[in-house]
Structures are given as C-alpha cells and as structure tokens.
Chain A
C-alpha cells in the first residue's frame, strides 16, 4: 500500500553475489528484498527493483530518486546516480547505530573496513584487493569441501566446539588443508570454526596500523553467520553490533543518500562514458 504522499526513494545494491533493494519513505523502510545476482546482474537488478515496488503497490514513477551502489552500480539504468558502497554502507550503518565508529562489511567477494568519525561520516577505508580470500566466497568454497551450505552453518557449530587452525587463506590451498584435516579425523565443526577464525583474523589484519575503534558494526551477508560474528569479536577484542538485517545496509544507505540529495550531483554517470567498459 502506498503510504501518504511523502517522497519515496530507493537504494539498489548490486553486489557480486546478491542484489538488495530498499524503498524508503519518511525515514522508514517501506520494503526491502534480497535476490541472487546470478549471471545477468543489471537485468536481475531491474527485476529486483520492480519486485520491491510491486510488493508495496508502487510504480517506478512513484520513486523520486534512485541511488545505485555495489559492483553493478554503473550499469543499473534506472538509477539517478551511483555512489560507492563505502559511502552507502557508512550511511546505512550510522542510521541504525549512531555510535558506530568502525564498519566491517564482508560480502560475497569483498571485505572492507570503514572508519567513521563521531558524526558517522567515513574518514578512511581499506578493502581487499582482487583476491577473495577472507570473504563470503571463501567461506562458501571451503564449506562445500565439508559439505555444508552457508545457510546451514549456524546449525552446525556452537561456541563450545573446538577449533583447528586453518593457515591457508587461498581457497584452493585451504581446500587441500581441509582435506588433510578430515583425513586426520578432525571434527567438521572444529574445522568450520577454524575457517571462521581465519576469516576474522584476515579482516582484522586488513586494518593494518589503523586502530579499530568501538562501536564496531558488522554487516554484509557473512555477518549472518553466528560463528564468524563471535570469531570476529574474539580476534578484534571487542563485541560487535549486527543490524537486524545486515545484508541490506548498503542499499539502505543508498536510499538515505537518495533522500538527502534528490538534486543531481556529481556522479560517475555524468563523467563521459569513461566509467563504463565497452
């Protein structure tokens, strides 16, 4: 149902593994959804956008401003502008947790640490390079060696379980390492716990010389895995906050930015077509 006449804005986060859409009105989430990116990111992005609108009986023309983010941000045609995921995650997180000073986002293929000032504005960030070590993809691939789909990982381990160390951060090497551990008779839950700690350690080390300041908010699809959350808290030495739906903070931030700046501003879409590959 369309709620009143107040402006509706939309954030679309087209990531490597999933697409998130958030519709925002009066600073409230009107609707949100998460779909697989699949093999046709921009088409699936547009379908997800339409699905989110249909869920609340809106038409594209009812949306006053659309901001895209994520890997597919520059290819999503309905967007009025695109904003990097760093800014979107920062904005989305600080809307939910105004006390946040560090955002740890681990997605399907990316991991990033964003440092926020006391007003929630990003002041610095680090991202993994092209290697997907320490991201959702790593967990997915190593989990498949153990025969455990990501969605079932929360059911497998409990905090009391033991842990074996996984030293390889390359998914291919880790696979051989895990096979070796299984042959030695290690418990599956202990190996999985080891994988979670390896990811957490990698993420903390990414911060380098920058100190990780509280409050720490953990977002991205990987934040849904309880074992990674507790491993990260142990490695960082702090408890972490997790939003009710950690996967949509990027899209939420994009929708908030869309609401804040309805006027067109400098965006990559306006700088020739150099932002796009042929």
Chain B
C-alpha cells in the first residue's frame, strides 16, 4: 500500500510520464462535470458508493501511482481493450492486465490525427487520450494487447503496431481449438514478459481470486432482482466500470462493504429509487468508465435499469472457472472455455446471447429492454433487429438507442425514454382495468 499522493505530487507524476497537463486538466474537468450530472443527483445512494466514486476519481491518479510502484518493484503490466483477455493467466504470471477502454467524449476528436471519424467512439476515445497525451496508462509504455473482435479494433492494432489475440468468429469445435491455442500462447507471452512461470499453484490461486471478484459483482447484481432494488442501475454500472481498473484486493474489499450495506437496505426495504418505475434490461455495447449517458437518461425518466447484459455488466462476470483442477494444462483449457462462452456479436451466429438475454429478463423481472448501442458498432446494432423478433414474440417491449459519447443528445434520448415509460405504464393500467 503506498501513501496517497497530494495534488502537486500527482502533477509531478503526470509530468514525469510525459503527459500534456493542460489537456489532461480539461479531460478531468469534463469527467468530473459529467459524473456530477449523471450520478450525484441521486438522493438514495448507498454510503459505500463513496468507495467507488473515489476509485473512479483515482483512476488517473492514485491508481496510476500504485501501478508505477508495482512496476518500480519489478512488476509488469499489459494494457488490454476487451474482456476476452484472461485475467487469471496474467495474474498468475504476476502481470497486471489493465483495460484501457476510454469512455470520454472529450478525447474522441483527438483520435482524428490517426483514425477516421466514422468508427466506434470507444476506439476513438481510447486512442484520442493516447494521442493527446492524456492517458496515464499508455504513457507507462506497457505492453498493449488487442484482440480480433471487430474491424475498427483490428485495423487500429495494425495501424499502431499492437499485437492481438485471435478471437474466432464462430463457435464450432475447430474454433474452440484455435481459441485454446491462443490462450496457451498468451500464457507463454505473459511468462516471457514477467519472467514468472505459470504453475498449478499460482494459477489456481489467481483463478480463485478472479472468481472471488466476479462473485462480488454477481452478488451486487443479485440485489437488483428485488422489487425495491437497494442499488440503482447507474451505481451498479459504476461498480462494474471501476472493477476493471481497481486493484483486485481493494475491489473485493470495497465490494464486500457495499454488499453488507445492500443486505441491510434490502432487509429494511430501502430502495435506491424514490418510487416504483419500469424495470428495464440494458442490452448491448459496453459503457466504459466515464460514460453513463444512456443510463442517466433512463433513470431520470422513471426507468430502473435492473440488469446490464453488456461487457460492463453480466457478460463480464457471469461465468466462473472451476477451482478444483490439478494441472496447468487443465486450468488453461478451463479458462479458455470460460472465456469462449462470452456472447459477443462478433460471433456468427450468436445464439447463446439470445438465450442469456431471455434468462436475464426472467431472473431480474425486467419488463422491457433498452438496446444501448454505441454508434458504428455494427455487430450489436444489427443483432438488435434479430433480438427484437424474439422479444416481440415474448411480448417484451424494446427501444433502441444508438449514440456516441457526446453529451448534447442527452435530452433527445430522454424524450424517447419518457415516452417508452409512459407507453409501458399505460399498457399496465390497461391490463389492470
């Protein structure tokens, strides 16, 4: 544990990392302003959310200092862009895998130096930060590691010379063979980076640790099934977002503190919401740290986001890895299998996602679905059409919102959210009559 840095020590650190302090101040100002707007209007937040608010705030400061300290003591790290990269293996090899996905609308335009304007805002935001000297992680000169999920990412890796893991596009037997070999190769790469051998013991420990982290996220998500959810969708999203950045032990501790509070609130029937609303499942693209516009638009319009199916939601923590395996090979294969279950629309077909969504709707008593889709994410955008067919057959209303990180369409999105809520409520009243 290192001491908390003062503001001037933070600035010294950023300067040392070669960052552009002036632009970075603008980025922080934008992030703080947006966070105030999207989260701090809520009147009934659990007190333990302060831990996650701080983690968000620390993500460009204290957390960077922690990682620098780790590296100064011989530790290694890799920068990742997708939940396909197996944390367990990196951790076993003493490598910190740090997701670098950007969720800031501020940095998007800075990507224009290298990337076209009409591609995914997540990719542009991430590389916009790198290109404007405002990402404290890129400047750590870590090993970046991409993956072949979508075209925008693949070609960006090529452009920047970033190596990538091959994620297959189908889920047949031979695809699984390919994926297992990729995970094995990844194991060797991690060992090379750190010089630490992955053994049955350290891998079993890291599997347990990662399972523990996912169990915390699952438990928090369980409370959202209640008729009076003790945590809002906005706050649950924040927890998932910072889970990708925080030190794993710190996250587990903070998560357990939140769970204890949620248990008390659940016993007392304390809801995070002022009144009953329409329960919705958010399906679609991830909302990386710093981005919560569509969740905000929903929850300020009388909708309650009771589940997130995204990569910053259930997709990230649904599946566990068995802890009772003996050999490294068995464990690596089990890990590969666990990650192969991820139901990203980069797969064709992607039938598992349809089943998973049906289950989540039932388990979380969702009345409706919001497709929350980042602009230019063709996989999620097109797949929403097929999903709608299934939802319609089951009488579940849905609304598709396609947008980027910019703030100015927030009110327009709210119009649609409000109208969606009104229609569902009026149908409810109709049925009651």
Chain A: residues with CB nearer than 8 A to chain B? 71, 83-87, 110, 121-125, 127, 129-130, 209, 266, 268, 270-275, 277-278
CB of A111, distance to nearest CB on chain B (Å): 12
In chain B, residues 354-384, which have Cβ atoms closer than 8 Å to a Cβ of chain A? none
- Contact with B419, one of A125, A209, A274 (Cβ below 8 angstroms): A125
Q: Is residue B176 within 8 Å, beta carbon to beta carbon, of the partner chain? A: no
The reply to whether A130 and B408 contact each other, CB–CB distance below 8 Å, is yes
A residues within 8 A CB of B175? none
CA distance A270 to B300 in the complex (A): 10
Q: Is residue B274 within 8 Å, beta carbon to beta carbon, of the partner chain? A: yes
B residues within 8 A CB of A129? 402-403, 409, 412
Q: Could you give 21 example pairs across A and B, Cβ below 8 Å?
A: A71-B411, A83-B418, A83-B422, A84-B419, A85-B415, A86-B416, A87-B423, A87-B426, A121-B430, A122-B422, A124-B423, A129-B402, A129-B409, A209-B385, A266-B302, A266-B425, A271-B275, A272-B41, A272-B42, A277-B410, A278-B36
Q: Is residue B271 within 8 Å, beta carbon to beta carbon, of the partner chain? A: no
A residues within 8 A CB of B300? 268, 271-272, 274-275
CA distance A273 to B40 in the complex (A): 10
The reply to whether B416 and A271 contact each other, CB–CB distance below 8 Å, is no
- Contact with B37, one of A85, A121, A271, A277 (Cβ below 8 angstroms): A277
In chain B, residues 132-150, which have Cβ atoms closer than 8 Å to a Cβ of chain A? none
User: Chain B 391-423, CB within 8 Å of chain A: the 1/0 string?
Assistant: 000000100001100001111101110110011
- Contact with B418, one of A124, A268, A273, A277 (Cβ below 8 angstroms): A268
A residues within 8 A CB of B430? 121
The reply to whether B302 and A127 contact each other, CB–CB distance below 8 Å, is no
CB of B321, distance to nearest CB on chain A (Å): 39
B residues within 8 A CB of A274? 41-42, 296, 299-300
The reply to whether A127 and B415 contact each other, CB–CB distance below 8 Å, is yes
The reply to whether B299 and A122 contact each other, CB–CB distance below 8 Å, is no
CB of A89, distance to nearest CB on chain B (Å): 10
**Known contacts A71-B415, A268-B300, A268-B418; can you find 14 more A-B pairs with CB under 8 A?**
A83-B422, A84-B422, A86-B415, A110-B412, A122-B419, A123-B423, A123-B427, A127-B415, A271-B274, A274-B42, A274-B299, A274-B300, A278-B36, A278-B37
CA distance A71 to B409 in the complex (A): 11
CB of A90, distance to nearest CB on chain B (Å): 9
Contact A84/B415 with A129-B403, A272-B43 known, Cβ cut-off 8 Å: yes
Q: Is residue B301 within 8 Å, beta carbon to beta carbon, of the partner chain? A: yes
CB of B18, distance to nearest CB on chain A (Å): 34
A residues within 8 A CB of B427? 123
CB of B339, distance to nearest CB on chain A (Å): 34
The reply to whether B414 and A275 contact each other, CB–CB distance below 8 Å, is yes
The reply to whether A275 and B301 contact each other, CB–CB distance below 8 Å, is yes
The reply to whether B403 and A86 contact each other, CB–CB distance below 8 Å, is no
CB of B109, distance to nearest CB on chain A (Å): 17
The reply to whether B301 and A268 contact each other, CB–CB distance below 8 Å, is yes
CB of B336, distance to nearest CB on chain A (Å): 38
Nearest CB to that of A114 among chain B residues?
B419
In chain B, residues 282-308, which have Cβ atoms closer than 8 Å to a Cβ of chain A? 296, 299-302
The reply to whether B426 and A121 contact each other, CB–CB distance below 8 Å, is yes
* Secondary structure class of chain B's binding surface, majority of residues: helix
CA distance A278 to B35 in the complex (A): 12
CA distance A247 to B402 in the complex (A): 28
* Secondary structure class of chain A's binding surface, majority of residues: loop
B residues within 8 A CB of A123? 423, 427
Chain B: residues with CB nearer than 8 A to chain A? 36-37, 41-43, 274-275, 296, 299-302, 385, 397, 402-403, 408-412, 414-416, 418-419, 422-423, 425-427, 430
Of A273, A275, A277, chain B has the most CB atoms within 10 Å of the CB of A275
A residues within 8 A CB of B416? 86, 125, 127
The reply to whether B403 and A268 contact each other, CB–CB distance below 8 Å, is no
CA distance A121 to B429 in the complex (A): 12
A residues within 8 A CB of B411? 71, 277
CA distance A122 to B397 in the complex (A): 13
Nearest CB to that of A128 among chain B residues?
B412
A residues within 8 A CB of B426? 87, 121-122
Nearest CB to that of A123 among chain B residues?
B423
A residues within 8 A CB of B422? 83-84, 86-87, 122
Nearest CB to that of B234 among chain A residues?
A274
Of A83, A268, A274, A278, chain B has the most CB atoms within 10 Å of the CB of A274
CB of B45, distance to nearest CB on chain A (Å): 11
CB of A11, distance to nearest CB on chain B (Å): 15
Nearest CB to that of A273 among chain B residues?
B41
Nearest CB to that of B408 among chain A residues?
A130
The reply to whether A266 and B301 contact each other, CB–CB distance below 8 Å, is no
CB of B351, distance to nearest CB on chain A (Å): 21
B residues within 8 A CB of A86? 415-416, 419, 422-423
Contact A122/B423 with A266-B302, A278-B36 known, Cβ cut-off 8 Å: yes
B residues within 8 A CB of A130? 403, 408-409, 412
CB of A254, distance to nearest CB on chain B (Å): 12
CB of A211, distance to nearest CB on chain B (Å): 13
The reply to whether B409 and A271 contact each other, CB–CB distance below 8 Å, is no
A residues within 8 A CB of B410? 277
A residues within 8 A CB of B36? 278
B residues within 8 A CB of A84? 415, 418-419, 422
B residues within 8 A CB of A71? 411, 415
The reply to whether A266 and B275 contact each other, CB–CB distance below 8 Å, is yes
A residues within 8 A CB of B302? 266, 268, 271
CA distance A130 to B412 in the complex (A): 7
Nearest CB to that of A82 among chain B residues?
B418
CA distance A249 to B430 in the complex (A): 24
CB of A170, distance to nearest CB on chain B (Å): 13
CA distance A129 to B294 in the complex (A): 13
B residues within 8 A CB of A87? 419, 422-423, 426
B residues within 8 A CB of A271? 274-275, 300-302
CA distance A71 to B408 in the complex (A): 13
CA distance A187 to B85 in the complex (A): 61
CA distance A123 to B399 in the complex (A): 12
CB of A83, distance to nearest CB on chain B (Å): 7
CA distance A86 to B397 in the complex (A): 16
Of B296, B422, B426, B430, chain A has the most CB atoms within 10 Å of the CB of B422
A residues within 8 A CB of B414? 275
CA distance A267 to B402 in the complex (A): 25
